[in-house]
Structure 1
Amino acid sequence: MTAQNPPVSPTIPPLPATDEPELHESPYTIPNALTMARIFACPFLGYTIVNGNYVWATGILFASGLTDWLDGWLARRYNSRSVLGSILDPAADKALMTTLVGTLAWSGLLPLPLAILIFGRDFGLSMSAFYFRFISLPKPRTLKRYFDPSIPSAEVKPTQISKINTALQLLLMGLTTVSPLIGSSISVPLQALQWTVAGTTIWSGFSYMGRSGVKILKQPGKKIL
């Protein structure tokens, strides 16, 4: 009799590798704390402008500018940049700008059409930021994970014209805030700066068309959307 071949054991496929852990980072950094301080100072700034206390308003505005420079310097000097910081920093600028534009327009120091233009651009950018956060967040996309700052998913990269526009807007708001404290009239240079800011506001808004200014982060083991 011929010997029978021993039965061949079926090949067991290897177990799929587990997904690598998703990106996490600590939001508790000194630059982020300074940025949050700028945001919390906005209501006090608005209160002083509405009540006509331009000396205090100028002081708060100067302190906000100083902390803005300081948190950027610390982030670069000690390599403490974070994705949350890249979102908080422009958010603080927008909170400051919204406060200044709204209260200065309310006080009659800023033309209402210019205020509406600035608000409209910022509203559109805010809505796009919420959208990109949603599509870039790794699943499951829950409300808790959406607002979890330790799960970075998209990084804000301001365009060059947006940086110029922000600087010009801050210059305009600063000069408008201190204008009541200046003895002579500066209405002519203020009007020229207002027209310039209107142009850069429109230009910077169009510069964010598509995904410009937003970097979708690649999660470990995941494909970029």
Structure 2
Amino acid sequence: MRAVLAQLPNALSLARLACAPAMVWAIVAVEHAAAFWIFVSAGVSDALDGFLAKRFKLNSVLGAYLDPIADKALLVATYVVLAAYAWLPVWLVALVVFRDLLIVGGALLVRIVTHSLEMRPMMISKINTAAQIALAAWVLTGLAFGFHDAAISRVAIYGVAATTVLSGAAYVITGWRRVGAWESTSPGKSGPGGEGA
């Protein structure tokens, strides 16, 4: 029973990953109510996934990678397809995707240079993710139930843009400092016998 329970968080993450193409299909097929419920189901899955992992200590190496990948795949797919139909501005989606690529590229660079990768989510990053989810949920709710408020949409869009820039900058600065700290303490980088000696 424990073995089956241990795989449940990963199964939920895989189901959430499958929601990404399902979301694209629903919006392309103009099944906006379906798109809304897919997004809601994914949110419930994410919450249940996290609860099970913490409550029963079911954390795993696979889950540590699979959970954020599933979350990001769904968000990016949702943003891209909404932008394709002009329900979100293209510049915002480009900014969100660029920030994600910047963080992934930076993390790989830090890993290559320092041979270590201890990336913990920052508070600004959590705020950014919450803002992205709220904006997507707002747009999908409007499409599914036929209401729209331009003022709220504008505030949400610029809120996502601001937190995206701030979180991206925070990760760049943190990565830069980590590399600098590693270089200052790495053998052969300074002091007797090092470069410049």
TM-score interval (norm. to shorter):
0.7 to 0.9
Matched position secondary structure for 2:80: helix
CA RMSD for the aligned pairs?
2.2
Give the structure-1-normalised TM-score: 0.69
Residues 82 and 88 in structure 2, CA contact (< 8 A), matched pair in contact too: yes
Equivalent of 1:111 in 71, 89, 92: 89
| Per-residue CA distance 1:84-114 (angstroms, 9 max, x = gap) | 3233222222101110110000011001111
Name which of 44, 64, 71 aligns with 1:86: 64
Give the aligned partner of residue 123 of structure 1: 101
State the distance in 2 between where 1:172 and 1:124 align: 22
Residue matched to 2:152: 189
Which structure's CA Rg is the greater one?
1
Residue 155 (structure 1) shift: 4.8
- Taking structure 2 as the reference length, the TM-score comes to 0.78
C-alpha spacing 1:108/1:60, structure 2 compared with 1 (3 Å): same
Higher helix share: 2
Measured in 2, the distance between the counterparts of 1:204 and 1:38 equals 24
* Structure 1 residue corresponding to 2:53, chosen from 75, 94, 118: 75
Q: Does 1:159 align with 2:122?
A: yes
Q: Give the number of equivalent residue pairs.
A: 171
Q: Which amino acid aligns with 2:135?
A: L
Is the 1:35–1:68 Cα contact (8 Å) retained in structure 2?
Answer: yes
2: CA distance, partners of 1:114 / 1:42: 19
What's 2:132 paired with?
169
Bigger RCO (CA 8 Å, 6+ sep): 1
Q: 1:183 Cα deviation (Å)?
A: 3.8
**Residue matched to 2:26:** 48
**Alpha-carbon distance in structure 1 between the residues aligned to 2:93 and 2:150:** 17
- Structure 2 partner of 1:60: 38
1:30 matched to which residue of 2? 8
Please report how far the alpha carbon of residue 49 of structure 1 lies from its aligned counterpart in structure 2 after TM superposition. Answer: 1.0
- Aligned partners of 1:87 and 1:155 also within 8 Å: no
Task: Give distance in 1, aligned partners of 2:21 and 2:162.
Answer: 28
Higher mean C-alpha displacement, 71-80 vs 84-93: 84-93
The structural deviation recorded for 1:77 is 0.6
CA distance, structure 2, for counterparts of residue 183 and residue 34 of structure 1: 30
CA distance in 2, matches of 1:182, 1:163: 28
Question: What is the percentage of aligned positions where both structures have the same residue?
Answer: 36
Tell me, which stretches of 5 or more residues in structure 2 are unaligned?
1-5, 179-197
